[in-house]
Amino acid sequence: MKKDEIIKEILELKKKRNAVIVAHNYQVDEVQEVADVVGDSLALSKYCADVKKDVIVFCGVHFMAESAKILSPNKVVLLPEIDAGCPMADMVTKEALIEEKKKFPNATVVCYINSSAEVKSECDVCCTSSNAVDIVRAINNKDILFVPDQNLGSYVSKKVPEKNIILWKGYCITHHRVKIDELIRARELRPDAEVLVHPECQPDIVEAADFIGSTKQIIEYATNSSNKEFIIGTEMGVLFKLKKDNPDKNFYLLSPGLVCPNMKKTSLMSVYRSLNEMNYEINLDETIRLKAKKALDNMLKLS
């Protein structure tokens, strides 16, 4: 099928299924184009919790579709590519977390939304990259066990020095590989550009940046800035919206390694197949779902 035909089929199927298509900011351009909503993890979680549709097609990675299911148990949640996982989310398991909690019985457990529903079910409160600092600051406990992203956790611990943050050793394979030499070189090449990075980058990168934020916050910052040039330190998918919304500005990717292979698995064809075959449906054990929901609800209350 040609691109126009696939899009036509998708739109017809969407109506027939009473479905909505949501896409993360890292999805390929044509998936972002066909989506009803594009956003960061927090915005998409909130949207899915309130949307009045029977089916949610979640173009993103596994933990994101799980979060949608946790918040919307009566909707059918579909992940178009079942192998689209998040390696960082897989760096913590429920069993390993239960063991770690025994070492810090008085700590409040905060989990980054990039974690499985099973891991969330063992946590007190979730956070995303856009609200992690505020969530941790609002917790009425000095000791925080933060899983699984050591880089986001380390960023939070600098912003909230009054807390004792115990870090899990997980990281995002895509953001973690950005090197400080790349940032220094990028600044030399574009001295007028502002450097905007995601807090999943390593501490030396975050330290050297002009702005740190979630994908949505990076897009908003660049859009509202009077500056004309930006070096972008997050996954390349954000360039689509940045360029579309800011045709008069220039954006340069901080590192050619900023590509998440899992986010790139979903194509227009996978969205079409997903709606046509109602694949791949996300289902959760109800006890796990309810416990994980508490952690997500606590986040939504605090953010």
**Considering the complex, what minimum distance in angstroms separates the CB of residue 236 from ligand 13P?**
12
Single out the residue of 27, 108, 114, 150 in contact with ligand 13P (rule: CB under 6 A).
114
The entry of ligand 13P, ligand SF4, none that residue 115 binds, CB within 5 to 8 Å by partner kind: none
Single out the residue of 32, 129, 266, 303 in contact with ligand 13P (rule: CB under 6 A).
129
**Considering the complex, what minimum distance in angstroms separates the CB of residue 238 from ligand 13P?**
9
Residues 196 to 225 in contact with ligand 13P, rule: CB under 6 A: 198, 200, 214-215
If binding is defined by CB under 6 A, does position 40 make contact with ligand 13P? yes
Q: What is the DSSP string of the chain?
A: --HHHHHHHHHHHHHHHTEEEEEETTS-HHHHHH-SEEE-HHHHHHHHHH---SEEEEES-HHHHHHHHHH-TTSEEE-S-TT---TTGGG--HHHHHHHHHH-TTSEEEEESSS-HHHHTT-SEEE-TTTHHHHHHH-S-SEEEEESBHHHHHHHHHH-TTSEEEEP-B--TTTTT--HHHHHHHHHH-TTPEEEE-TTS-HHHHHH-SEE--HHHHHHHHHH-S--EEEEES-TTHHHHHHHH-TTSEEEES-TT---TTGGG--HHHHHHHHHHT-PBP---HHHHHHHHHHHHHHHHH-
Single out the residue of 117, 126, 145, 172 in contact with ligand 13P (rule: CB under 6 A).
172
Single out the residue of 21, 35, 38, 41 in contact with ligand 13P (rule: CB under 6 A).
41
**Considering the complex, what minimum distance in angstroms separates the CB of residue 150 from ligand 13P?**
14
Interface contacts to ligand 13P, rule CB under 6 A? 25, 40-41, 114, 128-129, 172, 198, 200, 214-215
